[in-house]
Chains A and B, each alone.
Chain A
Amino acid sequence: MSAVTIDSTRCKGCELCCRVCPQGVLRVAKQINTKGYFPAEVGDGTLCMGCCMCAVVCPDVAIEVRVHGVHYDFLGQ
């Protein structure tokens, strides 16, 4: 299983991560953060396969990715 964490205080809500995630894990939160942006948040985190694409495109380095074992359910939504 993999896990992606978003630091919602750093996030500027650009949505670039939501666009690139091949598993549809990330979405826009309904609450604004302290900066006044709607940050990205993790939806169904169990779908994350640890590919890091979201973190690679995040201009604000708000995303951290951990992997634990292997995730097989690629594109399994």
Chain B
Amino acid sequence: MTGGEVVFSRPESLRRTPTHYCPGCTHGTAHRLVAEVLDELGIRERTVGVAPVGCAVFAYNYFNCDFLEAAHGRAPAFATGVKRVRPELIVFTYQGDGDLASIGLAEILHAANRGEKFTVVFVNNAIYGMTGGQMAPTTLPGQVTTTCPGGRDVEQVGYPLRVAELLATLRTPGYIARGSLHGPEAIVASKRLVRRAFEHQVAGTCFGLVELLSTCPTNWGLTPMAACQWVVDRMIPYYPLGELKRPESATGQVAS
């Protein structure tokens, strides 16, 4: 059938370049959600993205907007510079959990605490994907990775870091939320969160961070379908979904 109305197609903010991501990796889904939001808000032509080091290192090849490539974990510093010099631009970082929660933890914490008015898309797949599946600060208790082949031992290396909760305790106003990419309902809900975070930036309200629980079928050693189920069974119980902080709750209390 050729007639009829197109109800789903590639957003303009996403180039046709095929991604290098592994089959079933939800990095691609995260890209699409951001691109759809840029289209819907009509901000593509004044948006600057900052790519991380990690599997999303080539994000600048996939988004149809201006892009910078930061050193590992330093995307929030780049974004701070761009947004302060050109406040009329819409600036976002796209960072993995190794990039943001490990080497870049100081950058993200201080950017959020300073209330920098850019948006962070934080893709949490509980592992270092690009480098071959090493333990991340977000790796779950007991989860097997190449650097903890017996499973993460919390006695030895502590518990996984809940970055969204950590940032939600800050006194500085911000929008902090967590969604997941494991299935259609979760993806639709996550898109609303991404959209709200960008809307806060468009309105000039506050810093925004949306954590998206994402799969890494390759390094988890699971099929794409089993990886989505693993997000439901293992990740969501530890990383609950929802809005953790809205700019109104400026005291740092966690919004209900």
Which A residues are closer than 8 A to B by beta carbons? 1-3, 10, 12-16, 19-20, 37, 45, 50, 52-53, 55-61, 63-69
Contact = CB atoms under 8 A, between A and B. Distances in A.
Interface in B1-39: 1, 3-10, 14, 18-19, 21-29, 32
Given A12-B23, A56-B188, A63 B8 contact: yes
A65 B183 contact: no
Contact of B4 (A14, A60, A68): A68
Nearest to B5: A67
Nearest to B4: A68
Contacts, number: 83
B1 A3 contact: yes
B5 to A, nearest CB: 6
8 contacts: A1-B1, A12-B22, A15-B223, A16-B228, A55-B8, A56-B187, A61-B28, A66-B4
Interface residues of B, number: 31
B225 interface: yes
Nearest to A9: B18
Interface of B: 1, 3-10, 14, 18-19, 21-29, 32, 183-184, 187-188, 217, 223-225, 228
B62 to A, nearest CB: 10
B8 A65 contact: yes
